[in-house]
Amino acid sequence: MNKQPKDFSYALSSYLSVYLPGTKGVSKNTVLSYRDTFSLLLIYYRDCLGIAPEKLSFQQIDRALIEGFLTWLESSRKCSVSTRNQRLAAIRAFFRYLQVYHPEHLLLCQEIIGIPSKSSKERMMNYLDLDSLKVLLSMPNPSTRQGRRDTVLLSLLYDSGARVQEIVDLCRADVRTTFPATARLSGKGGKVRIVPLSADMAQLLQAYLDELAQLGRAKGTDALFCSRSGQKMTRAGVAYILAKYADMARQAVPGCVPVPFSPHCLRHSKAMHLLQAGVNLVYIRDLLGHTDLRTTEIYARAETEAKRRALEAASPVKSDGKYPSWTENDQLLTWLQSFGRTDI
């Protein structure tokens, strides 16, 4: 009886601390993402079902409760459908591991793995045109150290097309400002890629590096972007900085920055601008670090949709919707009814 409550905690601990980093070799960020999913699951059991995390066992887990957890994510925590599906994917991955290493729970594993993802409407991709981008990048105050840091941060997010985690993980040694200027980014799954930087970005970055050297942060292993306290900047910190300047840009030029707007939208903006400039999708894929060209094709579809909307707005052909009903067109109905008949 004393061992029963520990079966789930033992399996989860082994999965997060041994199997994922050791056997699978996934990145630290992936492990943290899985950890966050199960932290939320334990909170759900504690707050909604009254089951303390240390007392949770496999006997208290079934498909209905996992589905209840997913509903709770959407209703109580206001998570999007994509976030809900991401949490479900992490749970299913854990139970796929269980059915191999703990086959005594095979039936439970199959029931939970069988929970389907929820379909969602495709969201419109938010990105900036070049004029709006210039407005956004002009918001930081260049007369302050923090403003100069923020200018470089936002400019590098755009110029490199990097994910926000790739930017916060950058060290001084990862950037090269002499020709050809590059940034070494560590992406998903531990994949590393070298991306080119523009001459203007290299000049801006070199001035920033010189200022860091004056502050005593000249080591190659020093974080490139730090908070006011000197700690390595976090994704949340970057999101806060961008949100602040996005609000300032909206006040300066109403409507120039869409809502919502996240650091990832700067990555979208870079990809869209390259596409509009005629750059091949294969090169855009390599810059963004996509493993599959189909992922990059979303930018081509978004560009096509943007052109369609622009053409519709400029088209002189307009419809008032006043078309006669087919049921009122006797000749058309007669023709349709006789279509394909051989006895006429």
Q: Which residues are annotated as catalytic?
A: 163, 188, 264, 267, 290, 299
Give rounded-to-5 percent helix, strand, coil for the chain.
65, 5, 30
121 burial via Cβ count (<10 Å: 0-12, 13-18, 19+): exposed
3-state secondary structure of 194: strand
The alpha carbon of 209 is separated from its chain's Cα centroid by a whole number of angstroms, namely 29
Distances in Å between the Cα of 260 and the Cα atoms of 127, 237, 292, 300 are 10, 17, 27, 21
Distances in Å between the Cα of 73 and the Cα atoms of 35, 50, 119 are 16, 17, 15
Phi then psi for 78, rounded to 5 degrees? 60, 35
Say which residues have a Cβ less than 8 Å from residue 21's Cβ, sequence separation at least 6.
28, 31
